């Protein structure tokens, strides 16, 4: 049987790196994309290779038209098939409503929403052949508006709708789901966004990125009757 293969965008740092490491530990070969995190992507790929997995790091600028299709072509050209696509790459920048401009709007939607659509569509034939799955990395900001990151919140809200739309179109061969993290604490070497006060989180702690990665793995491996869902992983913050 051919080896399982996962394509992970933004796999060189933060949550993407944690997801890639978890998938490699679960037996997946990796095709990782990166833009600025070249060192982290190559380190992640090298660690996977040291553990006996095949891994490749590929520079991709998902802001550019046609880049998602180029990623799909490179991944399918390198590996015999694809079992899992994790759409993780995203732009997270401060855009309170008074600071929103056309450039930030277009670029953020292109990376956070359009590239998951176009990459998923380009890899659909390969995923369908292996009855694979897609996991989109959303955000609690798609449900609770981050007022200082308005455009980001809008893209993640739209990503939840895109997840449902793709799940309908790609069924029954390909399942599509999304995870919606909130309050993930990264190591000092991987600084993340400002974290909410702990008193807003019922579980009283922040998430380890490996917990989010474990949910991605669950959706890929053990959730065969789940599709079109966006699952919060936020310590209960979304329940109010």
Task: Return the CA Rg of the chain.
Answer: 17
Number of domains in the chain: 1
Provide the CATH number for the domain around residue 109.
3.40.50.720
Calpha distance 48→56 (Å, rounded) = 9
User: Catalytic residue numbers?
Assistant: 152
Domain span including residue 60: 5-239
**How much is the pLDDT for 191?**
57
**How much is the pLDDT for 190?**
60
Q: What is the mean pLDDT of residues 171-188?
A: 92
pLDDT in tens, 72-129: 999 999 999 999 999 999 999 889 999 999 998 999 999 999 999 999 999 999 999 9
**How much is the pLDDT for 197?**
86
Calpha distance 203→212 (Å, rounded) = 15
**Position with higher pLDDT, 187 vs 152:** 152
pLDDT in tens, 189-224: 665 566 888 989 999 999 999 999 999 999 999 999
**How much is the pLDDT for 147?**
87
Q: What is the mean pLDDT of residues 38-47?
A: 97
């Amino acid at each position: 049987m051919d080896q399982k293969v996962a394509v992970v965008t933004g796999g060189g740092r933060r949550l993407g790196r944690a997801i890639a490491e978890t998938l490699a530990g679960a037996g997946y070969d990796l095709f990782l994309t990166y833009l600025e995190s070249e060192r982290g992507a190559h380190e992640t790929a090298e660690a996977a290779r040291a553990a006996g997995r095949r891994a490749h790091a590929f520079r991709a600028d998902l802001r550019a038209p046609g880049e998602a299709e180029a990623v799909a072509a490179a991944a399918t050209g390198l590996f015999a098939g694809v079992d899992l696509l994790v759409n993780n790459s995203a732009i997270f920048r401060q855009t309170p409503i008074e600071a929103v401009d056309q450039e930030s709007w277009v670029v953020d939607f292109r990376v956070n929403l359009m590239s998951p659509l176009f990459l998923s569509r380009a890899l659909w034939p390969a995923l369908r052949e292996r009855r694979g799955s897609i996991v989109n990395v959303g955000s609690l900001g798609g449900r609770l508006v981050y007022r200082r990151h308005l455009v980001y919140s809008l893209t993640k809200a739209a990503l939840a709708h895109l997840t449902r739309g793709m799940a309908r179109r790609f069924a029954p061969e390909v399942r599509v789901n999304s995870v919606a993290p909130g309050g993930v604490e990264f190591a000092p070497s991987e600084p993340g966004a400002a974290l909410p006060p702990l008193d807003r989180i019922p579980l009283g702690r922040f998430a380890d990125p490996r917990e989010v990665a474990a949910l991605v793995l669950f959706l890929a491996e053990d959730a065969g009757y789940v599709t079109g869902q966006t699952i919060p992983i936020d310590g209960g913050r979304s329940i109010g």
